[in-house]
């Protein structure tokens, strides 16, 4: 398995020994992962109809950050690339984010 395919990092054949981070791939995979995680979290929290795809992407990205921080605090690895484990971390973080938003709105 090629680990750089998961993280947006690829080897540069022109310059042996250098690794280039493909930011376009990284940003697009982060947006897709955030969108999917936000959508799953909105279904879990019952708010799927009240926001669009942009809202799902924003909540999913914030959820990935929250989930990554929480999982790192407890000693586990957070978001590691575009894989199922990262989707789970981002979804858990997005659910926490939705819960916090609902708690703030009701207060």
Across the range 48-69, mean pLDDT stands at: 81
20 phi-psi bin (left φ>0, alpha ψ -120 to 50, beta other): beta
Domain containing residue 40: 26-106
Q: Is residue 68 part of a domain?
A: yes
Q: Is residue 50 part of a domain?
A: yes
Q: Is residue 55 part of a domain?
A: yes
Q: Is residue 15 part of a domain?
A: no
Q: What does the block give as tokens for 61?
A: 């990205």
Q: Is residue 52 part of a domain?
A: yes
Domain count across the chain: 1
pLDDT at 60 over 70: yes
- pLDDT value for 77: 66
């Amino acid at each position: 398995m090629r680990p750089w395919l998961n993280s947006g990092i690829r080897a540069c054949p022109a310059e042996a020994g250098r690794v280039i981070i493909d930011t376009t791939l990284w940003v697009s995979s982060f947006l897709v992962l955030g969108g999917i995680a936000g959508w799953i979290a909105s279904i879990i929290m019952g708010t799927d109809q009240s926001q669009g795809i942009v809202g799902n992407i924003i909540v999913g990205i914030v959820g990935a950050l929250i989930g990554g921080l929480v999982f790192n605090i407890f000693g586990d690895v957070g978001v590691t690339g575009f894989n199922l484990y990262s989707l789970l971390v981002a979804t858990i973080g997005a659910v926490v984010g939705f819960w916090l938003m609902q708690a703030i709105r009701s207060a």
